[in-house]
Structure 1
Amino acid sequence: MKVRVLGTAAGGGLPQWNCACATCAAARRAGVGRDQDCLAVSGDGRSWYLLNASPDLRGQLAAVPELAPGPGRRETPLRGVLLCTAELDHTIGLLSLREATSLAVYATEPVLAALSTGFPVRQILAPYTDVTWHEVVPGEPVTLQGGLAAEAFVVGAKPPRYAAAGGTGWVVAYRIRDRAGGTLVYAPCLPDVDDAFAAAVEGAGLVLLDGTFLHDDEMTRAAGGGRTATAMGHVPVEKSLSLLPRESGTRYVYTHLNNTNPLAIDADGLDVAEDGQAFEL
């Protein structure tokens, strides 16, 4: 399995356009930054799937040679998108794919419903391209082109602010496996490291997980107020570090870093994903 990290930041990216926190200021001085969360995976190097569709998607696709169009004039290796949530920073990029010849989008029932109501991207895309919308049922594997199988598992129940509450499956992670047994777990939005998560990562070669906040009270430290990481549905790194199962052969890499997170500038010895990073399982 080939894995390409397209973006590693939480909503707003780094530096965030309207933020003068210490981390954003340091990023501006250094001329560095992070695009918003997005991942690309392939089982054969020819058929690729996105996990989430970030607002930065056009530039992310253009930066990766494996995702370049061709040989046909409108032919691309992109086959579809698997959504972890209905959050805007995970779905706005779908609009950038409106010129695709065809596209498959996979998401849970409440996410699909939100994309028909509060953020009606399904109706917006319909006049532009042929999109097949697939309902993902947690626990039931989905067969993808190129020899991949993806299985969603529920990790959270927090809907985006624009959506009506209710339903389950608002926040999922994916366990993706190839024919040779290579296994990836992608959990950019993770409220806690519990027994269910430990079971889901068992045997995985690579786990890309929630690194949104380093500290639970990070917003207070950075901005003088605001909700805790836990209240926003993100387990802080300082907590997850001590709870992750340390199975031999499993690599844990943090992604989805908020602009306030000091790890976005200095990883401080932790395994933190970088934009453009490639893995092979």
Structure 2
Amino acid sequence: MRVRILGTAAGGGVPQWNCACHGCAAARAHPRWRRRHASVAIEAGEGRWHVVNATPDIAEQIESSAELRPRSRDRSPVAGVILTDAELDHTLGLLRLREAQQLRIAATGTVRAALERGLRLDRVLALYADLAWTDLPEDGPVPLDGSGHLEISAVRVSGKRPRYAADLDISDGPWSVALHVTDRGSGRSLVYAPAVADWSPGLAAALAAADCVIVDGTFWDDEEPRRSGFTRKTATEMGHLPITGPGGTSERLAALPAARRLYTHLNNTNPLVDPGHEGHRALAAMGVEVAPEGLVIEL
């Protein structure tokens, strides 16, 4: 199994178009600070990749990787999209994939219902492409891409609804999940969890069994959102466990047996968007790293 890091930023990317905070201003001045929306691509077979989450900059992410670019007209290596939630930052990119003859989407039933009832994406996209939905289950793995080489399953991490779905008549199922991917041949596995509101027993078990974990690093500490002035909520209240401080995830990550432990989904206010920030060295001493964009992980 090969995994390519396509993006590592939280909503809006770095820089965010309407923000001049230190992280955004520095990213405009220094291109190496720039980050695309958090996403990864997973190779399901030779020349067949599945992108996890369809971000608003998905076309740029595809173009940034030679392996994901089309070899001929209407023949793309991108075989489908796997959604971990129904947030706009992870789904608006579906509209940018409308040129596909068939668009394969794997998602939980709750996420699909939100997209169909709240955003009516199915009605819009069906006018351009044939939609093929695959259920992303919590109760056991299903084959990815039909080959059986890779299996995927969902691990519930949050019941937080997107704002547009707050009043929709949809049961409170798995609104946000971590993706657990297993290579049946080697037995190696990956857990990708870009948004974590609760370190649940199910998530802890999946992370403990994985060879590589890529986890929510939206905020450095719980007070960061308040301190930055864009909300009165803490990181935890916004649905993201912080990296440091009480309830922080860094010590939990450091204790995992995984060979690679990485953070993704950094907010533009997170000091880790600065490649030279001392937080990188502190995490490295714990065996934890911030995922660099373009990194390819072989499992």
TM score, norm. by length of structure 1:
0.95
Aligned to 2:209: 203
CA–CA separation in structure 1 for the residues paired with 2:150 and 2:118: 32
Between stretches 175-184 and 223-232, larger displacement belongs to: 223-232
Aligned to 1:139: 139
Structure 2: tracts of 5 or more residues without a match: 284-288
Aligned to 2:291: 273
What are the within-5 Å matches in structure 2 for residues 118-267 of structure 1?
A: 118-145=118-145, 147-165=149-167, 166-178=171-183, 179-223=185-229, 225-238=231-244, 239-244=248-253, 246-266=255-275
One-letter amino acid of the structure 1 residue matched with residue 173 of structure 2: T
Q: Identity rate of aligned residues, in percent?
A: 45
Between stretches 30-39 and 168-177, larger displacement belongs to: 30-39
The 4+ residue runs of structure 1 with deviation greater than 6 A are none
Matched positions, count: 280
For the pair 1:41 / 2:42, whether they are aligned, the reply is yes
Deviations 1:207-258 (A, max 9, x none): 0000000111101222275211101110001110122362434321000001
Given that residues 156 and 203 in structure 2 are in contact (C-alpha distance below 8 angstroms), is that contact kept between their aligned partners in structure 1? no
Aligned to 2:286: none
Q: 1 or 2 for the larger relative contact order (CA 8 Å, sep ≥6)? A: 1
Between stretches 237-246 and 7-16, larger displacement belongs to: 237-246
Given that residues 198 and 245 in structure 1 are in contact (C-alpha distance below 8 angstroms), is that contact kept between their aligned partners in structure 2? no
Structure 1: tracts of 5 or more residues without a match: none
CA–CA separation in structure 2 for the residues paired with 1:38 and 1:152: 16
Closer, same or farther: CA 222–208 of 1 in aligned 2, 3 Å: same
Q: 1:56: Cα distance to partner?
A: 0.4
For the pair 1:102 / 2:82, whether they are aligned, the reply is no
Between stretches 32-41 and 220-229, larger displacement belongs to: 220-229
Given that residues 213 and 237 in structure 1 are in contact (C-alpha distance below 8 angstroms), is that contact kept between their aligned partners in structure 2? yes
Q: 1:268: Cα distance to partner?
A: 2.1
Closer, same or farther: CA 224–104 of 1 in aligned 2, 3 Å: closer
Partner SS for 2:79: strand
Closer, same or farther: CA 123–279 of 1 in aligned 2, 3 Å: same
Partner SS for 1:117: helix
Closer, same or farther: CA 34–99 of 1 in aligned 2, 3 Å: same
One-letter amino acid of the structure 1 residue matched with residue 219 of structure 2: F
Given that residues 116 and 123 in structure 2 are in contact (C-alpha distance below 8 angstroms), is that contact kept between their aligned partners in structure 1? yes
Closer, same or farther: CA 224–161 of 1 in aligned 2, 3 Å: closer
Closer, same or farther: CA 159–182 of 1 in aligned 2, 3 Å: same
Given that residues 191 and 233 in structure 1 are in contact (C-alpha distance below 8 angstroms), is that contact kept between their aligned partners in structure 2? yes
Aligned to 1:114: 114
Aligned to 2:13: 13
Deviations 1:118-176 (A, max 9, x none): 11111110011111112222122121135110011111000100013542100001110
CA–CA separation in structure 1 for the residues paired with 2:254 and 2:290: 18
Between stretches 106-115 and 161-170, larger displacement belongs to: 161-170
Deviations 1:6-45 (A, max 9, x none): 1110000001111121221222222331001111001433
